Chains A and B, each alone.
Chain A
Amino acid sequence: MSDFEIFRTIVTEFPYALLGSLVAALLCAYLGVYVVSKRVVFVGATLTQVAVAGIAFSHLPFADFEPLYGSIVFTVLVTLLFAWMLQSKSVPRDTVLGASFVAAIALRILMIQKSAAAEVSEIDAILKGDILFVTAQQFHLLLGVFIVLMLIHLVFYKAFIFVSFDAETATTQGFNSRVWEMVFYLTVGVAVSVATRVVGDVFVFGFLVIPAAGAILTARKVKNIFLLAILYAAIPPVIGLYLAFKLDLPAGPTTVTTGLVLLLVTWILSRFKH
């Protein structure tokens, strides 16, 4: 198949794979700027595993509901719990995240054991990052979540930025930092739960970190960081899907690897610039 035919096949036969991965990448990249700058990268890894555990839960014989709802409920509950624990400071942050991460993986393995073979293969596809069969319904839900979360972040930009920079002073100026931190983690939780269902956990975690890392290396202004992160996120899904087709690889990990290569090139260029 020629390169043109590959692109045409992707656009005509798997349009929601391309659109879904683009929307997921952009959403994760924007939120990832805060995740990286707040030094809570491991939150992303933990929440993706919690989302997969939620999907596995929804496949249990007694549960049997739409996996996306299981993902959202699990992720939102865990987000609220550890947002509270992270703020209370009674347990070190990485301990909370580490315990949540391993608990989510363990629960997922246990729940898969009790699921029918057909459901296990669906979870397997999510873990491998096989995004070619994203449905129109999944894409439209992801798009809706993208629009709502981006609106929240753009309208309340000042609050999110101020609390990220200096939570204590933000509180003295009338911004309840505890509430805004909770809102932030909830937006990340909802984004991760929906995006993981569509594009897989490796993709989601990768795009929470990689575009933001590239943007922070190159941007000189805060507003440019968000724009650059979105730009860095827009390129890999297109190239990654093409490479996945050409080399017969799973699309999610291929896209993330493409993003990593782009980050490496950015880092090398930034070293030469300095």
Chain B
Amino acid sequence: MKSQAQALVQFENVTLGYRRNVIAKEISFSIEEGEFVGIVGPNGSGKTTIVRAILGILKPQRGDIRVRGRSSERLRIGYVPQRDSIDPIMPFTVSDVVIMGRYGRLGMIRRPTSKDRAAAIEALKHVDLLDQAASSYRDLSGGQKQRTLIARALAAEPDMLILDEPTNGMDLASRTAIMELIKHFHAEHGMTVLMVSHLLSDVANYVKKIMLVEPQFFQVGSVEEILSEANLTRVYDLPVMVGEWMGTKVIIARGKRV
């Protein structure tokens, strides 16, 4: 078993909330380098709050968050927000968006250099969007926008990739393409990935570890432990079936409340 000091991110009895509203109480977990972790749970359960704490946007009310064993260290995170939260009026090109992934390395004043532009091009190649570099971001399909945002996150050369509902509102083909892309980065490049999703089937077939977030309750464990019929039936207050078909996990709610 790896020592706690080697964990990329370690939460120790962390309480998170906004003023008096406590969202997550005394939660503890670790994310090891190279893991692919999913965060699932009902709407409003606190998934986004935990992500904001990992991102460093939200400070814990109590407890300790450590990066590589130290409270003072910060991770370089490639963040992929929900696609619908970005709706620009200005005609940003795909290149304009991806180069923003380098801004964190440049500080407040320095302009992007040829090295930054090269990193942006490399990121676009990874997501197979180099031919769209000069295209307007506004005019892209949902899947292309998502790949652009993933490229932006990769351009930052991050320690960890965090994706918030990356397949939201996509058709089957686009969803599969995005998930295979994320899986590729995890498998081929050893990228540590944290993915928030309410699509349990996506999560079940790609991640190795799951955090299940409920209001005032938190579980972390393997896919088999967390995504069991008993657990999901209790969490979602619906009879849930978990099965397998041709090697793919399938999770279905039967639609009748217990």
Contact = CB atoms under 8 A, between A and B. Distances in A.
Interface of A: 33, 36-37, 39, 155-156, 158-159, 161-162, 164-166, 168-175, 216, 219-222, 225
A37 B86 CA distance: 12
A112 B56 CA distance: 50
B93 A166 contact: no
Interface string B58-94: 0000000000000000000101010001101111110
Given A156-B109, A158-B111, A166-B81, A173 B89 contact: no
Contacts of B56: 172
A173 B104 contact: yes
Contacts of B109: 155-156
A156 B136 CA distance: 24
B100 A162 contact: yes
Given A216-B90, A220-B91, A165 B57 contact: no
A209 to B, nearest CB: 13
B223 interface: no
Given A165-B92, A216-B89, A221-B93, 8 more contacts: A158-B103, A165-B88, A165-B90, A172-B56, A172-B79, A173-B101, A174-B107, A216-B90
Interface residues of B, number: 28
Given A156-B109, A172-B57, A221-B91, A166 B103 contact: no
B181 interface: no
B108 A158 contact: yes
B106 A158 contact: yes
Contacts of A171: 55, 57
B156 interface: yes
Contact of A222 (B92, B104, B106, B111): B92
Nearest to B111: A158
A225 to B, nearest CB: 6
A159 B111 CA distance: 11
Interface of A (DSSP majority class): helix
Nearest to A37: B89
B89 A165 contact: no
B103 A222 contact: no
Nearest to A159: B108
Contact of B103 (A33, A39, A175, A219): A175
B27 interface: no
Nearest to B56: A172
B89 A36 contact: yes
Contacts of B85: 166, 168
B157 interface: no
Nearest to A155: B109
A227 to B, nearest CB: 13
Nearest to B78: A172
A158 B101 CA distance: 11
A87 to B, nearest CB: 13
A221 B90 CA distance: 8
B86 A165 contact: yes
B238 interface: no
Interface string B128-151: 000000001000000000000000
Contacts of B108: 156, 158-159, 175
A220 B136 contact: yes
B86 A166 contact: yes
A222 B101 CA distance: 17
A6 to B, nearest CB: 38
A174 B111 CA distance: 15
Contacts of B106: 158
A162 B90 CA distance: 12
A152 B117 CA distance: 24
Contact of B91 (A36, A168, A219): A219
Nearest to A177: B57
A36 B89 CA distance: 8
Contacts of A216: 89-91
A177 to B, nearest CB: 9
Contacts of A156: 108-109
B200 interface: no
Contact of A169 (B79, B88, B93): B79
B35 interface: no
A33 B91 CA distance: 12
B97 interface: yes
Which of A159, A173, A222 has the most C-beta atoms of chain B within 10 angstroms of its own C-beta?
A: A173
9 contacts: A37-B88, A156-B109, A158-B106, A161-B100, A164-B90, A165-B97, A169-B79, A170-B100, A221-B93
A174 B55 CA distance: 10
B12 interface: no
A168 B92 CA distance: 17
B96 interface: yes
Contacts of A166: 81, 85-86, 100
